[in-house]
Structure 1
Amino acid sequence: MAIKGSKLPQRPKKRAKFIQRKLNLVSPGTWLCDLTLERYEVREKKISKKRPRGLKAMGHMDSDSE
């Protein structure tokens, strides 16, 4: 038995936006299966002190050589 035709693509094709909107109107809760705990985790930003740059930074440098 031989299979004829072309190989399927690796990724499925994306739905057109207008079709997806119509599906959302018909069954609005379909996207709920995509919700995971990771979407609700809040990532805290790292607090970094801004260091002065340029000539202002050169005046504050601690150097032992004089």
Structure 2
Amino acid sequence: MPGFFIALHKMLKGLRACLAVPAHNMAIIGRYIKFCLCIVVAGKIVFLALQSWRKFYEFNDC
């Protein structure tokens, strides 16, 4: 799990650097944040689906 926190820290540092730019770039930053959230949610859904599929497969293996 530490890899996740390192990635999060890097993303926050990147966002802090972005926030130093003029306000007209805030829309681009907002779109970027939405894009990242969509990726995170999709990744979680895929991970949970794979986990449940693996349990189902192991259950039916015997």
Q: Same fold (TM over 0.5)?
A: no
More RCO (CA 8 Å, sep 6+)? 2
Give TM-score, length-normalised by structure 2.
0.24
The structure whose Rg is larger is 1
Give TM-score, length-normalised by structure 1.
0.23
